[in-house]
Structure 1
Amino acid sequence: MSEKSNALRMARYNSWQNNAMIGAANQLPAPERQRDFGTFFKSIEATFSHIFWADQIWLSRFGVVEPIKLGIPESTGLITDWDRFQTDRKALDQQLYDWVEGLDESWFAGELAWYSGAVGRDMVKPRAQVIGHIFNHQTHHRGQIHAMLSMAGVNSGITDLAMMEE
């Protein structure tokens, strides 16, 4: 599978899982979505917010969206209106997919240079590796959301990549 084909598949997976997790979270009242479950970012909404923030950070490094001027500590507070978040998340998922779809296969062979606030230094990594990281990061934190939903008694459905309809 080519790098681009893999990235497109992961962009579809990202959208599918965001829709599933948000749909499951919609079964909960706001106080339950905002409850501290003892996970890394504490709540379902805060974890969704962090993923949304990180996707924008990475896409801004590729020049796809405007840079967001918040660091990791502030990344959990972007959701102030749940309905608006759902609309914005769908739009960002579509923007991510459309961007990957427009890339040439040769683009993946290049490198990305950026300053990482998380580690406090300049970084250079292969673009294909960074794209893989974006999707891995989303999956990692959605796993935490899945666990919180389970603790709240909500079934968020199948999460396996192999079960995604093509």
Structure 2
Amino acid sequence: MVTPAWCHLMATYNAEMNRRIYAAAGTLTEAQRREDRGAFFGSIHGTLSHLMWGDATWMARFAGWPAPEGGIKDSPRLHPQWAAMRAARIGLDTRITAWMATLDPAALSGSLGWYSGAMQREVSRPRWVLLTHFFNHQTHHRGQVHALLTGLGAVTGDTDLPFILPFD
């Protein structure tokens, strides 16, 4: 069941995994990060940029934050500079985690409507489904990046949620 506590847990997990992914990617050369290695968004850099775009797009819908420029096709080029993207990721994760900590059960009820550029129409879905998708999207593309990093010999460390977050 999706609860406010689950949303905060997932935001905390995603922030930690992003830290690990960016640290591993930081051990590569710029050329290695930008090489098209056949992922859906091409390169490690392009996929991480797409994730920044996706997270910012969903947070614009959820919380009224400013929406990023461009659409899905532009997303791999949204953050052209590695160091700036890495710093922006840390800031975005901090904001996402803080926002998720404010959720109450009412925030998960009802539906959210928006205009989907990908579908070219108005869409409405239950909020709890969209929050689930938000975290699933992060995990999906971060898994692609993890595979690309592993193929290049970079190491992220453990990725299993129960073993990387402190639980009381």
The TM-score normalised by the length of structure 2 is: 0.94
Superposition deviation, residue 2 in structure 1: 5.8
Whether 1:156 aligns to 2:156 is yes
Task: Note closer, same or farther for the CA distance 1:2–1:145 as it changes in structure 2 (3 Å cut).
Answer: closer
Q: In structure 1, what is the equivalent of residue 125 of structure 2?
A: 125
Counterparts of residues 66-145 of structure 1 (less than 5 Å): 66-145=66-145
Q: In structure 2, what is the equivalent of residue 34 of structure 1?
A: 34
Whether 1:11 aligns to 2:2 is no
Partners of 2:146 and 2:63 lie apart in 1 by 31
Give the fraction of aligned pairs with identical amino acids, expressed as a percent. 39
Partners of 1:129 and 1:121 lie apart in 2 by 19
Q: Secondary structure at the match of 1:125?
A: strand
Task: Note closer, same or farther for the CA distance 1:101–1:64 as it changes in structure 2 (3 Å cut).
Answer: farther
Partners of 1:78 and 1:100 lie apart in 2 by 24
The total of aligned residue pairs comes to 166
Partners of 2:64 and 2:15 lie apart in 1 by 17
CA RMSD of aligned residues (A): 1.3
Residue type of the partner of 1:115? Y
Query: Does the aligned pair in 2 maintain the 1:4–1:103 contact within 8 Å?
Result: yes
| Greater mean deviation of Cα atoms: 1-10 or 136-145 | 1-10
Runs of 4+ in 1 over 6 A off after TM superposition: none
Query: Does the aligned pair in 1 maintain the 2:47–2:145 contact within 8 Å?
Result: yes
Q: In structure 2, what is the equivalent of residue 48 of structure 1?
A: 48
Task: Note closer, same or farther for the CA distance 1:2–1:51 as it changes in structure 2 (3 Å cut).
Answer: closer
Q: Structure 1 regions of 5+ residues with no counterpart?
A: none
Superposition deviation, residue 64 in structure 1: 3.6
Partners of 2:103 and 2:156 lie apart in 1 by 32
Partners of 1:143 and 1:2 lie apart in 2 by 22
Query: Does the aligned pair in 2 maintain the 1:64–1:99 contact within 8 Å?
Result: no
Q: Secondary structure at the match of 1:115?
A: strand
Residue type of the partner of 2:159? T
Residue type of the partner of 2:91? A
Please give the per-residue CA displacement for 1:9-40, whole angstroms capped at 9, x wherever unaligned.
Answer: 00001101000000000110111100111111
Partners of 1:67 and 1:36 lie apart in 2 by 27
The TM-score normalised by the length of structure 1 is: 0.95
Residue type of the partner of 1:108? L
Q: Structure 2 regions of 5+ residues with no counterpart?
A: none
